[in-house]
Structure 1
């Protein structure tokens, strides 16, 4: 599950990170998981929906699910999730509305059984989104171009191209970075904004694995 917006490096490193995140989620993510913490809401987090829209397009918001962590701290303060949401600040309210009010609250100190229940709930929420989106992963121009590039690479290498090394290193297709950078350059102002951010926003992409053998 790749993360986006860890933008503490150089421009080239940022573009490469976004390129890797795009490529590893081909043919497209089934969900965008926006990870927030109860009681802590930054400017970067407030703009999460805007950033997702800028990189992936507004339709991507139909695939967003907010994951609230720190439920245990909320409970320690004798607060309920409902009470927290009733008193949420305008920025958080706007973000949740843009994401269809879809969320899951996570207890960081949960036992194994509770953690399994949380995972089950997240999968149920994601499954509901998949059904609502006609059981199709999210796609846009970049994903379309990368899927074409992927087919070309696998054909030219007779299916021997190794996408991920044993140490977790992601090998980019020859044209991946060019395709992604071309798309980002059309949103130059946005790219400059994420480069000067503090990297506090965590957005993960959830996708169902596709066996390469079935596609070759």
Structure 2
């Protein structure tokens, strides 16, 4: 489309929009289930992508004013999904800016509550997801994006997604095809998964009306070709049900593993206890043998003491008898302690 014609179309649409009262905040069109067309006053868009992708700056560019902070400020990056509304090129826009759901090590369970919040903020559902990717050498994270989006939203997500390539240099606009050809296989697969729908956005050029107009035209064209005009909560709930089923399976497997480990621990402790009991019983039996031996020696000495007539020898025998008696008493005490320990 010729640039002059695009600019003229945008001016006409803005003039028309200024003549029509904006819809009520939070209200929904009475025909939300029908395909979106230029006559529908609201488009609901969700911004997705890494922290460095220019997600917030893309939202500001689309709205034509700063609503989500600047990319230069790390504190401006949302920790939870945030919604902003505004007008652009004759449309009422509702934009939801999401946190970085693609950070390495971030589990699906950790982001699940905010994914639900994102869908609530764009209720009854977003017309389009804008997957924001910077026009610069990537770090091999596209495969992670493919997997994460499929896990969160299911296959129905791809029919409602447009890749939004962001940059801050007008020279990059003419090299996007070369960028895709030179990019990774995962990047090309990501674009193909989205039906080869992509748009290039200069996040430094807020006055460039045609780039926003072309993006919104592409979104409306996509939506009009979908059976479902927007990504509905029902689709999300189906995806949620699959995730809950998977999480339930994981939880059951964890519980089974825990029970198995506890059973193995009990069996191991039981075996250790049995070995310990056998050892203690062996010690008690050894005490029995010692007591029996000492008893026999004591009895023999008592007989010798009675027969001995020499006083000196008799005193020596009595001392030895006393020593054996004390030793036997000590063995009995040790045996009693061992028996008590065995009972406990």
TM-score, scaled to structure 1: 0.58
Q: Which runs of 5+ in 1 are unaligned?
A: 146-178, 189-216
Equivalent residue number for residue 127 of structure 2: 30
1:86 aligns with 2:181: yes
**What is the aligned partner in structure 1 of residue 244 from structure 2?**
185
Alignment length (residue pairs) = 152
Candidates 52, 58, 70, aligned match of 2:167: 70
1:107 to 179, 196, 202: 202
User: Is the 1:67–1:104 Cα contact (8 Å) retained in structure 2?
Assistant: yes
Q: CA deviation at 1:64?
A: 1.0
What's 1:14 paired with?
111
Q: Distance in 2 between matches of 1:41 and 1:52?
A: 18
Q: CA deviation at 1:41?
A: 2.1
**Number of the residue aligned with 2:227:** 134
Task: Tell me, in whole angstroms, the C-alpha distance in 1 between the residues paired with 2:115 and 2:192.
Answer: 26
The TM-score with structure 2 as length reference comes to 0.38
- By relative contact order (CA 8 Å, sep 6+), the higher-ranking structure is 1
CA offset at residue 13 of structure 1?
5.9
Is the Cα–Cα contact under 8 Å of residues 33 and 65 in structure 1 kept in the other structure?
A: yes
Q: In the aligned structure 1, how far is the partner of 2:237 from the partner of 2:204?
A: 41
Superposition RMSD in Å: 3.4
The 3 A distance-change label for structure 1 pair 57 and 12 is closer
- Give me the whole-angstrom Cα distance separating, in 2, the residues matched to 1:144 and 1:14: 16
Q: 2:156 aligns to what?
A: 59
The superposition leaves residues 57-107 of structure 1 with CA deviations (integer Å, 9 ceiling, x where unpaired) of 11211111000011617x27x962222222222111111111111111112
Task: State the structure with more CA Rg.
Answer: 2
Return 130-139 or 8-17, whichever deviates more. 8-17
Structure 2 vs 1, CA of residues 107 and 23 (structure 1 numbering), >3 Å: closer, same or farther?
same
Does 2:214 match 1:121?
A: yes
